[in-house]
Structures are given as structure tokens and as C-alpha cells.
Amino acid sequence: MINKITGVNGPINGWLDGHTYLIGLMAYPIRHSMSPTMHNNAFAKLGLNFTYLCFEIDNKKLPKAVEAIRTLDMRGSNVSMPNKKEVIKYLDKLSPASEMCDAVNTIVNDNGVLTGYTTDGIGFMKSLEDEGIDISGKKMCLAGAGGAATPIAVQAALDGVSEIEIFNLNDDKWAQAEKNVKTINEKTNCKASLHHLEDKDDFKRAISECDIYCDATGVGMKPLEDMTLVEDPSWFHKDMTVFDTVYAPRTTKLMKVAQKAGVKHVLNGIGMMIEQGAAAFKLWTGEDMPTDYIRQVIF
Ligand code: NAD
């Protein structure tokens, strides 16, 4: 099968040889992912003899795929949908955040012992830190309780956010939202509460009282790119942070409303995406991903 590339047109020494460590990404569908480009460019930049490959793995193929991590002595893998929860039963250990989220996006193989981590929340917190924003001791309003919102809420609570008001529709993620609130209240010092997104007065109140509003619903991304949960700039105040987990488009409708309101920090999900990858990269290699370089050459 012809699968031509650009950019590699000379001899490569000490890379992709008999000593290369393999990292996988196990999900379905997954061929569209930017993660292989991000990690392989970071390995090349640092001269690390690792490679990162995508594998189309659904729940059915997952047991054999996880066993292959041990059999092939892979250094680890990322996992994404539909495997983030399903994979837990095949692992040996979980990080505290992973246990609280009941989800894994990164596996590390230490001599056959597989540990599951979740790095999305770490990526969220680090992307704020990169912008000089410290939300410890602060109040958060969070829309969503899915695959992105759950690790964001858990990591924010673990890292010292004092209060999180979670808003969700009464849909199939409501039970997960209830679980997130219960776990945070039981296992951290953060006070969490659950509210109906349909109650616009309550939602408006929570946003007006918070230091950071985070939308982790995907509203603002295709096919909902013309939508935002907050239409009125007067709901925001200037000293807050507005964070949209969406990264395509780079400027969502929510971000435009926040910019119109003169909000101090308005962020999209690109920083979170790079930093969740950097956290996994550090777990596998022990090295810091060159995130400025990655941002410059890829995003
Ligand atoms: P998900 O399907 O797991 O969860 C979606 C959440 O949004 C649920 O809580 C659901 O109740 C809510 N929701 C869905 N439609 C809604 C609507 N019309 N109005 C209000 N709420 C609605 O999805 P996910 O994996 O959590 O992804 C959510 C968003 O986060 C996506 O845009 C995704 O691209 C983004 N994301 C970004 C990163 C990053 O690193 N920046 C990482 C993961 C996900």
C-alpha cells in the first residue's frame, strides 16, 4: 500500500531502529487524530527513540490490544472513545484522578504493570497556568459532565478550586454529573453542586458569581458552531476567565460574547489539548514536551 510522506527525505540514525519504544493510540474512529503528529514531532525534536502509532480499536478488540501492550513490551498507549471507561478492567492500577473520573486516557507500562491515568484535567489546569491564571481557592462554573468536563472538574477540585457549580441538561450525562459531584464532595475539600442547565436564572447567577466559567459541552463546535450557551455579554464580568474546551473553530461564539463583554482571559481548548499530550509524554518518557515548538509547527 502506498502511503507517502513529506519531511523525511534523508538518512535517520538512532530512530526507528531495533531499540525504538512504541506508544499507541487505541480508539475508533481515530485516523483523524492530531496526537501522532504531535508526539512524533516532539520525539524527533528531542531526539527520543520513541514512535507513536494509531490503532483502530473498538471495545471488542480492546482486551487483546491491551494484552499486546504487555506482549510487545510497548511503553504505553493513549486510549480514547469508545475505550476510556472500558479499558479500566484490563489494567493493574489507576491514578487517583483516573479512579475519581472512572476513565483513562493514558496507559503506562512499567515492566508489565499497566497503570491508567487521565491527563485531560492536568492539561486544563496547565493551560491556565501557562496564561498566568491561578484558580486555586477560586470559584468555578462548569457546563457539562462528559469526557472532557469530568476530568476538568476532578483535577480542578484536586488542585484546590474552592467551589464548582456544575450545570448539565437532564440528558444521558446527568447521572455522570451526579457522580462527579458526589466524588468531589467525598474525596476533596472542594464544594461541588449540580444544577439544571435549563434553569437560565440559576445559570446566570452562577456565572456572575464565579471566577472561571468553563464550557465543556462541545456547543460552539460543528454541527453547533453558531451556538453558545451564553448569548448575553452582560452575564460575564471583566475580571473572570472564560474557557471553551472547543479548539475548532479557534474562536467560538461563546468566546466572541466574552470578548464583547471585555472579559480579561478568554481561552480556547488548544492549550488544554497540547498540555494533556505533554502530561502523557512526560509519563512515558520522563521528558518535558517542547510545547512551544509543537504549538508553532503543528497548531
Ligand atoms: P461528551 O459527549 O462526553 O459530553 C458532552 C457534554 O455536553 C455532556 O455533559 C452533555 O450533557 C452536554 N451537551 C451536549 N449537547 C449539549 C447541548 N446542546 N447543550 C448543552 N449541553 C450539551 O463530549 P466530550 O468528549 O466531553 O467533549 C466535549 C467538548 O470538549 C468537545 O467540543 C470536545 O472537542 C472538547 N474536548 C476538548 C479537549 C481538549 O483537550 N481541548 C479534550 C476533550 C474534549
**Residue (of 240, 144, 231, 268) closest to 195 by Cα position:** 144
Here the cell at position 111 is 515492566
**Residue (of 64, 76, 78) closest to 120 by Cα position:** 78
How many angstroms separate the CA atoms of 55 and 185, rounded? Answer: 37
What is the ipTM for the molecules in this complex? Answer: 0.99
Q: Helix 270-285 and helix 120-130: axis angle, to 10°?
A: 120
The answer to whether 2 and 38 have CB atoms below 8 angstroms apart is no
How many angstroms separate the CA atoms of 180 and 174, rounded? Answer: 10
Per-residue pLDDT of 262-278, as tens digits, reads 999 999 999 999 999 99
Q: What percent of the chain has pLDDT over 70?
A: 100
In this predicted model, which residue has the larger pLDDT, 14 or 116? 116
Say whether 88 sits in a helix, a strand or coil. helix
Cα dist. 15→40, 278, 292 in Å? 11, 20, 23
Ligand 1 in contact with 278 (CB < 6 A)?
A: no
Q: Is the dihedral of CA 203, 208, 211, 216 positive or negative?
A: positive
Q: What percent of the chain has pLDDT over 90?
A: 94
Ligand 1 in contact with 152 (CB < 6 A)?
A: no
**Residue (of 218, 158, 173, 280) closest to 291 by Cα position:** 280
84 is catalytic: yes
Ligand 1 in contact with 273 (CB < 6 A)?
A: yes
Per-residue pLDDT of 31-75, as tens digits, reads 999 999 999 999 999 999 999 999 999 999 999 999 999 999 999
Q: How many CB atoms lie within 10 A of CB 169?
A: 15
> Ligand 1, closest atom to CA 144?
9
**Residue (of 263, 199, 210, 269) closest to 234 by Cα position:** 263
Annotated active-site residue in 60, 61, 64, 84: 84
Ligand 1 in contact with 207 (CB < 6 A)?
A: no
Ligand 1 in contact with 128 (CB < 6 A)?
A: no
Ligand 1 in contact with 246 (CB < 6 A)?
A: yes
pTM: 0.96
Ligand 1 in contact with 140 (CB < 6 A)?
A: no
Q: Give the pLDDT confidence score for residue 8 in this predicted structure.
A: 75
Residue nearest to atom 15 of ligand 1 (CA): 217
Mean predicted confidence (pLDDT) in 244-258: 97
Question: Rounded to the nearest whole angstrom, what is the distance from the C-alpha of residue 67 to the centroid of ligand 1?
Answer: 30
Residue nearest to atom 16 of ligand 1 (CA): 217
How many angstroms separate the CA atoms of 149 and 103, rounded? Answer: 12
Q: Give the pLDDT confidence score for residue 5 in this predicted structure.
A: 79
Identify which of 122, 124, 245 to mutate to test ligand 1's pocket (most ligand atoms within 8 A of the CB): 245
H or E segment at 267? strand 265-267
Q: Does a cis peptide bond (omega within 30 degrees of 0) precede residue 249? A: yes
**Residue (of 279, 267, 275, 269) closest to 292 by Cα position:** 275
Q: Give the pLDDT confidence score for residue 257 in this predicted structure.
A: 98
pLDDT category, 94, cuts 50, 70, 90?
Answer: very high
Q: Give the pLDDT confidence score for residue 18 in this predicted structure.
A: 93
Residue nearest to atom 41 of ligand 1 (CA): 269
Mean predicted confidence (pLDDT) in 89-93: 98
Q: Give the pLDDT confidence score for residue 253 in this predicted structure.
A: 97
Q: Give the pLDDT confidence score for residue 80 in this predicted structure.
A: 97
